[in-house]
Structure 1
Amino acid sequence: MIKIKKMLDISGQFLFILAVLVVTYVFAMFQGGQVSWVIFYSLLPFVLYSAMLFLYPLSGVTVKRSIRAMNIQNGGKFQVSLTVRRNSRFPLLYTVVTEKWEEDETALLAGEQRKKMFLFGFRKEMEWHYEIEQLPRGEHVLQGVVIEVSDFFGWLRKTKMIEARDTILVFPKMIDLHYVPFDTQYDRGTLASLLNIVKDTTMATGVRGYQPGDRVTWIHWKSFARTQTLMTKEFEDRRSQEVLLLLDGRVSTVFEEQVEFTASILKEASSHQAELALVTTGLDSSLFPFIHSEEQLHQALVHLAKIKPTAEDKTAPLVDFSTEFQHGGGIVLITAKPDWLLMQSVLRNAKNARSIICFVVVKENEQIDRAMENDIQLARSKGVLVHILGKERFKEAFQEVAG
């Protein structure tokens, strides 16, 4: 239907041009005189060019896009180069090239930078660069490029959409946390560390078959040399606690800060070889039960890059993660609304959890209202360690809790 409409539009424009030529010719024939014929012959080249442009196929036009970085962090600079090529030297005058974004918000952010007018002339290739400052977190899709050519007076306009799909993923901005261990259980006794959960790699207790995600340093090379089968060393687990990060996906004024804090903890915890899991609430609650390898960490960060806040009335029930804590573990909850509904869901799933820490993210210097104070007191009465902090104190969050 759209193609038929486009064909009718351009056909109508071409008929208008022919009508102009016929009218000027009839005028010259009946009026006579030098002036009327000058008008006719002056318009003739422009009409002939418009006719040739009508027959000129845009199918020979191609676009190549080059993006400097496909994955950037929130607030980063997006830089792209576009090269427009064609396979003939037919003279083109006004050629407008426009990047087409899937999201209107991103198109508005790019503004006029995403549009460029060329005077091709007889050239076969043109190139231009543009950039978007502070691209927001999320998945941004470039659908393609719209090419529009026009004649001298804009009587005839031809448009073609060239498919060139690219997806740009903007990750949450991750902060280097100053981690201080606190409140974790060993198999024997109580020692300090919530996230620094490692295996005792100095004591191998056996070997097993290799599984995706196993570290290269754990491979038993002597066994591989004998059997040509990859085997992995098994170590004594010196710590029995696991860590689950729980992100409250309900809409809030500090949702971006919550996502950034969650991503920063994930990055820091993984660098300490923690036994990690991630749960996010929202329209579709998501669970990442095992984050051991770089690939699994990347999948979790991709989810955090794409996640969008959900209105409270549309929030799905909290996904069941009780099976992840059969042997006990610690929970780190990141929220802006520590209400009883959320806490009740967490406590119901975390019966075997050894500790629950709730970070309440607020705007810097924001006053806590009475309702939130009551919610915090109720959570503390249930054994939840609650800590209020703004973005400026993310780096020292664990130091303050440990203190």
Structure 2
Amino acid sequence: MKQTVGLVFQLAWMSLLLGILFAYAMFEGGFTSWFLLDSFVPIFVYLLCLQFYPLKGWKVNRTLSHYKVNAGDHLRVVITMRRKLRFPLYYCVIEEIMPESLNRLDIRRKKYTFLDAPEQLAAQRRVKKLIFPWFKKEMTVSYELVQIPRGRHEFTAIHVRTGDIFGFMKKQHLYQLTDELTAYPARPAVRLRESMKYQKQGSLASSAMHFQAGNVATSIREYVPGDKFSWIDWKQTAKKNDVMTKEFEKDKSTDVLVVLDACNRGKQNWLQFDAAAELSAALLEAFEKKSSKATFLSVHDKVEHFSIAEGRRAQLDRVYQHLAAVEPVPALFPAVLLQELNKMPTGFVAYILTASLDEMLFDVLRKMNMHSHGIHILLISAAAELADSDRMLVRHMAKQGITVTSLTKKQLAADPIEVNVF
């Protein structure tokens, strides 16, 4: 309806202008008046043809240099437009309708310096390109998309606007064109600074990032950060000209549970959750390299299970796809986790990534600790120091054998990220 009204108004305006010039030529009768009328007639004919030119008949295509990237990467987008008629067009303005999910910047590790002020990473991305097609049948424009944030970003439309050189007539059309870009979470290097051991029910368990070696070495593998110095096989290292470490039977049987708190309880910002998602991916990748059996739980309004067996890279890729799309939803993390306790295996080492602590979570973790070999909480903290209530909870958890590592913007911006277990 709005376009129809605009069309009628523009036609009426041009007709009125033509009528004024015709009346002026008829009454004046001089060279100037007829020259003005004769000069405007071809312009009027062009504007009339432009008004009925089928802009919606163009074939528009969008091509991304990559459809799957890591957070912080950049890519090139190419928009191609093809038309059948060589109708002269003075200009075209091509605008990409950007998804709202791209309205923030990912500057890789440096973004965590804004952990307490994530609004500084907000950015209103606008892409407009001006071209002069004239008689061309095919037109191409391109632009760079930089500092892409984690998530699934869906491009839905391209807006094209054109008109005449004088600005009398304007035409526009919105092309519905869908493409999806997936930005996987970055996987920062993680190093556990201390190895904590817990004595529980007569069995000794160690931190999952520093596995306790057994007595029998079953094979060798390439060295990865976090391996103990005593595990290095010097003979094989000299033979292969690469640092090799021994792999023990106990390494292969270590069960690891990584739990991501994807519940929005109003106590975290989007950058804290991004940090938790990236650390989840980094920990799971480290465990996969150590040939450890790992289970990943994504806890939001429901619990999603991912099992990562030894050598099953495809299973790890499924986790990355989930972490690229997951966003926190309104839910109570301790309550959802409590419903999952009976389904959990026994004898595991758990890493829980969350942005807040409370008494209800403490109660759930005490019950969970009865069936585990150790629980480690990685607390993503926007504040430089913990609140007094959180400090008290940390002390109570330590008495129950539950360790808490507070990761602030300083620790998260480091390379590698050092997880201090206390």
Q: In the alignment, which residue of structure 1 is the partner of 2:314?
A: 295
Q: In the alignment, which residue of structure 2 is the partner of 1:337?
A: 356
SS at match of 1:164: strand
Q: In the alignment, which residue of structure 2 is the partner of 1:383?
A: 401
Contact 1:334 1:360 survives alignment (8 Å): yes
1:67-94 deviations in Å (ceiling 9; x for gaps): 1222222222232122222222111112
1:291-327 deviations in Å (ceiling 9; x for gaps): 3333332222222222334467x76942433244333
Cα distance in 2 between the residues matched to 1:195 and 1:387: 14
- Percent identity at matched positions? 23
- Amino acid of the residue matched to residue 288 of structure 1? H
Cα distance in 1 between the residues matched to 2:42 and 2:334: 67
Q: Which TM-score applies when normalising by structure 2? A: 0.74
- Amino acid of the residue matched to residue 416 of structure 2? K
Q: What displacement does 1:341 show?
A: 2.1
Q: In the alignment, which residue of structure 2 is the partner of 1:170?
A: 183
Contact 1:281 1:316 survives alignment (8 Å): no
- Amino acid of the residue matched to residue 33 of structure 2? S
Contact 1:195 1:243 survives alignment (8 Å): no
Note if 1:95 corresponds to 2:92.
yes
SS at match of 1:47: helix
Q: In the alignment, which residue of structure 2 is the partner of 1:224?
A: none
- Amino acid of the residue matched to residue 378 of structure 1? H
- Amino acid of the residue matched to residue 153 of structure 1? F
Q: What displacement does 1:195 show?
A: 5.5
1:331-381 deviations in Å (ceiling 9; x for gaps): 1011222222223234445542221111122358x1222121112112222
Kindly report which structure 2 residues correspond to 1:1-400, keeping only aligned pairs within 5 A, or say none.
4-103=1-100, 106=103, 109=123, 111-112=125-126, 114-178=127-191, 183=197, 190=204, 192=206, 194=208, 241-249=254-262, 250=264, 251-253=267-269, 254-282=272-300, 284-292=301-309, 293-310=312-329, 317-319=335-337, 320-349=339-368, 351-363=370-382, 366-390=384-408, 391-392=412-413, 395=416, 397=418, 400=420
Cα distance in 2 between the residues matched to 1:51 and 1:274: 72
- Amino acid of the residue matched to residue 391 of structure 2? E
- Amino acid of the residue matched to residue 145 of structure 1? I
Cα distance in 1 between the residues matched to 2:133 and 2:318: 44
Contact 1:24 1:39 survives alignment (8 Å): yes
Cα distance in 2 between the residues matched to 1:154 and 1:104: 35
Aligned residues: CA RMSD:
3.3
1:187-243 deviations in Å (ceiling 9; x for gaps): x96465625889x9979xxxxxxxxxxxxxxxxxxxxxxxxxxxxxxxx99865422
Query: For residues 179 and 377 of structure 1, do their structure 2 counterparts lie closer, same or farther at Cα, with a shift above 3 Å needed?
Result: closer
SS at match of 2:157: strand
Cα distance in 1 between the residues matched to 2:146 and 2:61: 22
Contact 2:394 2:403 survives alignment (8 Å): no
1:128-162 deviations in Å (ceiling 9; x for gaps): 22113212222211112111121222222221222
Query: For residues 156 and 350 of structure 1, do their structure 2 counterparts lie closer, same or farther at Cα, with a shift above 3 Å needed?
Result: farther
Contact 1:177 1:264 survives alignment (8 Å): yes
Cα distance in 1 between the residues matched to 2:334 and 2:21: 70
Contact 1:10 1:157 survives alignment (8 Å): no
Cα distance in 1 between the residues matched to 2:184 and 2:308: 17
**Long gaps (5+) in structure 1:** 204-235
Cα distance in 2 between the residues matched to 1:315 and 1:156: 58
SS at match of 1:255: helix
- Amino acid of the residue matched to residue 103 of structure 1? E
Query: For residues 375 and 324 of structure 1, do their structure 2 counterparts lie closer, same or farther at Cα, with a shift above 3 Å needed?
Result: same
Cα distance in 1 between the residues matched to 2:261 and 2:129: 42
Q: In the alignment, which residue of structure 1 is the partner of 2:119?
A: none
Contact 1:325 1:353 survives alignment (8 Å): no
SS at match of 1:128: strand
Cα distance in 2 between the residues matched to 1:84 and 1:102: 21
Cα distance in 2 between the residues matched to 1:277 and 1:101: 36
Cα distance in 2 between the residues matched to 1:316 and 1:51: 67
Contact 2:256 2:292 survives alignment (8 Å): yes
Query: For residues 154 and 295 of structure 1, do their structure 2 counterparts lie closer, same or farther at Cα, with a shift above 3 Å needed?
Result: farther
Cα distance in 2 between the residues matched to 1:238 and 1:362: 31
Query: For residues 122 and 239 of structure 1, do their structure 2 counterparts lie closer, same or farther at Cα, with a shift above 3 Å needed?
Result: closer
